[in-house]
Amino acid sequence: MSNAGASPRRIAIRGDLLDMTADPGFGGVASSKVRFNADHWLLIEDARIVGRTAAAPDASWERHDHAGRLITPGFIDTHVHGPQIDMIASYGAELLEWLNTYTFPAERRHADPEVAAMGAATFLDALLAHGTTAAVVFPTTHKVSVDALFEAASQRGMRVISGKVLMDRNAPDFLCDDVENAERDCIDLIQRWHGRGRLAYAVTPRFAPTSTPAQLDMAARLLQAHPGTYMQSHVAENRDEVQWVAELFPRARSYLDVYESHGLLTERSVLAHGVWLDDDDRQLLAETGAQIAHAPTSNLFLGSGLIDWVKLHDAGAQVTMASDVGGGITLSMLRTLAEAYKVQALQGVRLTAWKALYSATRGAARALQLEHEIGSLEPGTMADVTVWDWAVGPVATHRDRLARDLHERVFAWIMLGDERNLVSTRVAGVERYRRGESCGS
Ligand code: GUN
Ligand code: ZN
């Protein structure tokens, strides 16, 4: 809600303030990149964070006392399919069979404007109810699904990056478009939504197998013609998929090279998965600034594989955190981070709570070129803020009491917590979710 001309709405929220100031890397549990102020007030004027104070602010501030609770920046989910909440948790298939059996039929329903509108509202409210305030989203190939998503995001004031899914081969007719019509639809959507409020357009070829080279060229033309637009897709998720891409694009050096050779890798490219990459691919990611959206619950659920995060990190490639619902089986970034920890543990790597938290907040903001807006509790950024119980239930509460230091406490919150720990979600200062209530929009 705009308050132009009036004195600013001033809100102060009390709790334990936690955010990351920079990438802690794969270091130890002691990190200088963690900022923690126990029992402080976070100060918000209108939509933005303006500071923090230990002393209670005066009565000109609307005070929300969450003493003993944790306050963090809203999570950023860098890869999620809104319509796939319709078929999340579908049994028994690897990627390609799963797409044909469950995913494509489910996405078909979103050609209907009513289904698309209801679906978008349900999906975004669910994100907020999991503490996620910003997301990079796949709708479907249908233009109405993009309009519905952006409209619903705009009503909630959320930072959403999305665009029409492009598919012109190797998919059912009911989802396929063609280069000319798709280009026209994308231009129309970009003009309507890109840069409006907190929305940005992402040129969205689903993945290399479902786009002809001509469609990938068209996608690159769109990126070139519309500065500031993003690109999102999938890369090297599953071994059969990688083999298929090698057959479809015999001249490409690798799956990632398909995108590079079509001019689709920029510092605004978000590529989900990146499980089956080699050293040259990792180097290319670092050079172009394209990021890997790591989706551990999806990679485990679909049996896709274990990402080598350390090699990506050492190469200088950016890795952010994604639910990838409905291949992923939760919108909770806490559960997602807990699975990311286990994926590294299986490879003998320790993922600290700090690196995990960074990848789902400030690191994601940075990779998306949005560090000035989201991902931290820095003054000047938008007040996308979440309040959490440190622990819910007897075991987590017991564990929390026995934690000996901050890392132990935050690590247990990540491992044992989920959306039930979430008390309140604010977007641009406005409370959009409160536990036990429906806030509406
Ligand atoms: N690759 C192409 N489309 C999809 C999708 O919808 N989900 C996942 N996990 N991988 C994909
Ligand atoms: Zn995906």
Check if 81 has its Cβ closer than 6 Å to any atom of ligand 1: yes
Which ligand number lies closest to the CA of residue 106?
A: 1
Ligand nearest to the CA of 93: 1
pLDDT digits (tens, 9 = 90+) for 27-72: 899 999 999 999 999 999 999 999 999 999 999 999 999 999 999 9
What confidence score (pLDDT) does residue 340 get? 99
C-beta of 23 in contact with ligand 1 (< 6 A): no
The burial class, CB within 10 Å (0-12 / 13-18 / 19+), for 91 is exposed
Model pLDDT, residue 2: 47
> Is the shortest distance between the CB of 432 and ligand 1 below 6 Å?
no
Q: Is the CB of 327 under 6 A from ligand 1?
A: yes
Q: Give residue-wise pLDDT tens across range 161-179.
A: 999 999 999 999 999 999 9
Instruction: State the pLDDT at residue 1.
Output: 45
> How many whole angstroms separate alpha carbon 235 and alpha carbon 431?
36
What does the pLDDT read at residue 437?
83
Q: Cα of 99 to ligand 1 centre, how many Å? A: 7
Inter-residue contact 21 to 376 (CB < 8 Å): yes
Q: Is it the case that residue 139 has pLDDT exceeding 70?
A: yes
pLDDT value of position 5: 59
Put simply, whether the predicted model's pTM sits higher than 0.95 gets the answer yes
What pLDDT shows up at residue 8?
Answer: 80
| Closest ligand 1 atom number to CA of residue 327 | 9
324 CA: nearest ligand 1 atom: 9
Residue 362 Cβ contacting ligand 1 at under 6 Å = no
Q: Check pLDDT > 60 for residue 180.
A: yes
Ligand 1 mutation pick, 206, 235, 245, 302, max ligand atoms within 8 A of CB: 206
Hey, which of 94, 95, 241 would you mutate to test ligand 1's pocket, going by the most ligand atoms within 8 Å of its Cβ? 95
The arithmetic mean of pLDDT across residues 117-146, rounded, is 98
pLDDT surpassing 70 at residue 439: no
What's the pLDDT score for residue 193?
98
Measured CA distances, 111 to 123, 324, 365 (Å): 16, 21, 31
Q: Is the pLDDT of residue 145 over 70?
A: yes
Average pLDDT over all residues of the chain: 97
Residue 335 in contact with ligand 1 by CB distance below 6 A: no
**Nearest ligand atom owner, CA of 293:** 2
Asked whether 324 lines ligand 1 (CB < 6 A), one says yes
Residue 375 pLDDT class (50, 70, 90 cuts) = very high
pLDDT > 90: percent of the chain: 97
Q: Does 208 score more than 70 pLDDT?
A: yes
Query: Is it the case that residue 440 has pLDDT exceeding 70?
Result: no
Distance 323 CA to ligand 2 centre (A): 9
pLDDT of residue 7: 77
Q: How far is the CA of 187 from the centre of ligand 2 (A)?
A: 23
Segment 130-142 shows an average pLDDT of 98
Q: Which ligand is nearest to the CA of 236?
A: 1
Task: Decide: 373 in ligand 1 pocket, CB within 6 A.
Answer: no
pLDDT of residue 241: 98
Q: Is 99 in the pocket of ligand 1 (CB under 6 A)?
A: yes
Look at ligand 1, atom 3, and give the residue with the nearest C-alpha: 206
Q: Is the CB of 208 under 6 A from ligand 1?
A: no
pLDDT(441) > 50: no
